[in-house]
A = this chain, B = another copy of it.
Amino acid sequence: MKIVLDAMGGDFGPEPNVEAAIQAAKDFNIEIALVGKQELIRPLLAKANTAGLMLPVVHASEVVEMDEHPSAAVRAKKDNSMSVGMRLIKDGAADAFVTMGNTGAGMAAALFTLGRIKGVNRPAISAAIPHLKGHTFMIDIGANTEVKPENLVQFALMGSIYVERVLRVRNPKVALLSNGEEDSKGTETVQAANALLHKAPLNFIGNVQGYDILKGTADVVVADGFTGNIAIKLMEGMMPLMEDLLKKAFYSSAKMKLAGALAKDDLKSVIKSSLNYEAIGGAPLLGVDGVVIIGHGRSKAPAIYSAIQRAKEAVENGVVDAIEKGLEALPSA
């Protein structure tokens, strides 16, 4: 297996990417191609012990920055690391692409280079939201601002396949995000999707509400990209709020200062490990014709390593083929 890692992706440049690639190449005994500016990547490899590891460097002279307009940047910078990396997948020279870069650009590059899986109308972006008992896999979280009912049904199917095959949840519970549990709740689009999902070969448990994402009521929560994006960014705001709140509480009295001194570090680590919305390994672009995993820009080596691991599992478990076959079995609108 050969996985391509965007060495330029993320807020911290090539260093954590190279570090994660070395560790993953060693642990998984696979080839990891590092794509990006070779003058930055090679010195980092040279400093490390990479004897016997398969870590080729693929030069790409340009980088899509985090704040650039996704599709415009991908079009303008023909030799950007994402497009160069994905071309390897397209040409059959590699099996999966992993990046911590600009999510929108990842989607744009994937659409231009890999195209869609046969039958998929709209690929989607996903995220695995941690809660106290596991993860809620959300799809779409931003690619499709406006959707049709059939798009939501396809998101549900793609999410269910990924969660079953990569996150290893048996017969995952799939739900539609709405403003009430009854089938009659939601926009017209959501109501129509609800009816289609009841007929689909999925473990569809109906509608769930906002709080259900945090409770883990369903394994897969389906939304349009507008609503999903607002929800995920609201959850991103929870961690800093919680930290501010704890800070406030632990300054409120001498007794609380003492308690804070005792508890601070453990508390931080429990919260971080339970609810770190920023450093979850990575989540797939689903519906593009190839395995593409995108992680958070703030990822450090351990998160990048786990993103590579997910890419490997998605390849091994035939997620792309399963989606193509699964779509054929869906009821039409």
Chain B nearest CB, measured from A143 CB (Å): 10
Complex: chain B residue closest to A242, CB-CB: B242
Is A93's beta carbon under 8 Å from chain B?
Answer: no
Chain A contributes a number of interface residues (CB within 8 A of B) equal to: 58
Complex: chain B residue closest to A145, CB-CB: B187
- Chain B residues positioned under 8 Å from A75 (CB to CB): none
Would you call A234 and B260 a contact (CB within 8 A)? no
Q: Mark A209-248, 1 if CB is under 8 A from B, else 0.
A: 1111111000000000111011111111110111011101
- Chain B residues positioned under 8 Å from A131 (CB to CB): 241
- Chain B residues positioned under 8 Å from A245 (CB to CB): 132, 270-271, 274-275
Is A256's beta carbon under 8 Å from chain B?
Answer: yes
Is A44's beta carbon under 8 Å from chain B?
Answer: no
Chain B nearest CB, measured from A198 CB (Å): 20
Would you call A263 and B274 a contact (CB within 8 A)? no
- Chain B residues positioned under 8 Å from A188 (CB to CB): 146
With contact pairs A187-B226, A259-B262, A263-B250 given, residues A142 and B179 touching in the complex (Cβ less than 8 Å): yes
Chain copies in complex:
2
Is A249's beta carbon under 8 Å from chain B?
Answer: yes
Is A39's beta carbon under 8 Å from chain B?
Answer: no
Most buried by B among A142, A225, A232, A263: A263
Is A322's beta carbon under 8 Å from chain B?
Answer: no
| CB interface residues, A 171-191, toward B, < 8 Å | 177-180, 185-188, 190
Would you call A241 and B214 a contact (CB within 8 A)? yes
With contact pairs A263-B259, A263-B260, A270-B248 given, residues A186 and B237 touching in the complex (Cβ less than 8 Å): no
Q: How far is the CA of A186 from the CA of B259 in the complex (A)?
A: 45
Contact check: which of B145, B185, B215, B225 meets A237 at CB < 8 Å? B215
Q: Mark A120-164, 1 if CB is under 8 A from B, else 0.
A: 000000000001100000000010011000000000000000000
Complex: chain B residue closest to A234, CB-CB: B210
With contact pairs A258-B262, A266-B249, A266-B252 given, residues A213 and B237 touching in the complex (Cβ less than 8 Å): yes
Would you call B236 and A211 a contact (CB within 8 A)? yes
| CB interface residues, A 249-287, toward B, < 8 Å | 249-250, 252-253, 255-256, 258-260, 262-263, 266-267, 270-271, 274-275
Chain B nearest CB, measured from A14 CB (Å): 28
Complex: chain B residue closest to A182, CB-CB: B69
Would you call B248 and A231 a contact (CB within 8 A)? no
Contact check: which of B213, B214, B236, B270 meets A249 at CB < 8 Å? B270
- Chain B residues positioned under 8 Å from A240 (CB to CB): 211, 214
A residues with CB within 8 A of B: 131-132, 142, 145-146, 177-180, 185-188, 190, 209-215, 225-227, 229-238, 240-242, 244-246, 248-250, 252-253, 255-256, 258-260, 262-263, 266-267, 270-271, 274-275
4 nearest A-B pairs in the assembled complex, by CB-CB distance:
A211-B237, A210-B233, A210-B234, A259-B263
5 contacts between A and B (CB under 8 A): A210-B229, A210-B235, A231-B231, A245-B271, A259-B266
Give me 10 other A-B pairs in contact (C-beta within 8 A), A132-B245, A250-B263 excluded: A142-B179, A145-B187, A178-B226, A179-B225, A210-B235, A211-B240, A245-B270, A245-B275, A256-B266, A260-B263
